[in-house]
Amino acid sequence: MKLFVGNSTPVLAQAIARYLELPLGQATVRRFADEEIFVEIQENVRGEDVFVIQSTSYPANDHLMELLIMIDALRRASARRITAVLPYFGYARQDRKAGGRTPISAKLVANLITEAGADRVMTLDLHAGQIQGFFDIPTDNLFAVPLMARDIKHHLDLENVMVVSPDVGGVVRARSLAKRLDALLAIVDKRREKPGESEVMNIIGDVKGRHCILIDDIIDSGGTLCNAADALMADGAKSVRAYITHGVLSGGAVPRIVKSNLEELVITDSIQPTTAVKEAGNIRVLTTANLLGEAIARTASEQSVSSLFD
């Protein structure tokens, strides 16, 4: 088994390599003067079981092309099996036609990864589980909920905790966490009555006096999450925290989170944290290295991956 990494998550890849007690494979990923990406695998991979660790996070297109070109280079170097390990699968939110004459970009990216030569895909908390069906190769969708549950149990008294889904679409994920914590569940029902008007947040469930935990797969601008925190506090919540798998945190998201009613935002390292994220007082990063490392080890030895979440 050999591990290779692009430029998107080098710190996470190093942590995974430490867990597996393996060195990272030697490869050069560089750019020509016109920004074309060039990859050179600098060691023998013939007949090897190879894992390429690369999130397609910002800049998404560059990191996606790095992944595709690295897979192609490994395929042409006669690797026995190539598994694309995507801690964060970019374009996942474009998983359906949102209107007329619009693309389903998540399917296109799945096709690109398959055609480049990947034999298997491993990812974490897909925006929609159905995206697994976009791939014509085996796909493992790992879940961060067990990590989050352990972290919550370590940091909070569970007696007064309530898990909250920030929208109706995230109820399944929130219910999974609530079951692990043996906690109650609430839902934020957001509605926009007219175009241009702010969203109205209605809380389904009694959150008064509770320590509320919002859970979601992606935080981007942070607006919806901050509005949900405001609505929960206005409804009598004692405190509000958020556990989000993928911290995209684009634009002015970090200052917005810092000034918000969120006591703490916990994200994973599926996307490499920026300096602003590291310096934010109420943002904490939870590592997924052991989870991904164990899933890689089980895949290499043909053991069950799904049993990790039993």
Answer whether 205's CB lies under 8 Å from 233's CB.
no
Nearest to 116, CA basis, from 191, 186, 202, 37? 37
The Cβ of residue 24 has, within 10 Å, a number of other Cβ atoms equal to 16
Find out whether 35 is annotated in a ligand binding site.
Answer: yes
- The answer to whether 34 is annotated as binding is yes
223 is in an annotated binding site: yes
221 labelled as ligand-binding?
yes
Q: 93 labelled as ligand-binding?
A: yes
Q: What does the alpha-carbon distance between residue 213 and residue 24 come to, in Å, rounded to a whole number? A: 37
Residue 294 assigned as binding residue: no
Contact (CB, 8 A) for 152 and 161: yes
Whether residue 263 is annotated as binding a ligand: the answer is no
**The one catalytic residue among 97, 179, 190, 259:** 190
Q: Is 167 annotated as a binding residue?
A: yes
Residues 6+ apart with CB under 8 A from 82: 50, 51, 52, 71, 74, 75, 117, 118, 119, 120
User: What is the 3-class SS of 64-84, one letter each residue?
Assistant: HHHHHHHHHHHHHCCCCEEEE
Amino acid at residue number 304: S
Using only C-alpha atoms, the chain has a radius of gyration, in whole angstroms, of 20
Alpha helices in the chain (DSSP H): 10-20, 60-76, 105-116, 145-155, 171-181, 223-234, 253-258, 275-279, 289-300
Please check if 155 is assigned to a binding site: no
Q: Is 127 annotated as a binding residue?
A: yes
If you search the block for the tokens 């405190």, which residue do you land on? 239
The end-to-end CA distance of the chain, in Å, is: 26
Is 94 known as a binding-site position?
yes
For residue 92, the 8-state DSSP code is T
Query: Has 190 been annotated as catalytic?
Result: yes
Specify binding-site residues for ATP: 34-36, 93-94
Specify binding-site residues: 34-36, 93-94, 127, 167, 192, 216, 220-224
Which residues are identified as catalytic?
190
Specify binding-site residues for Mg(2+): 127, 167
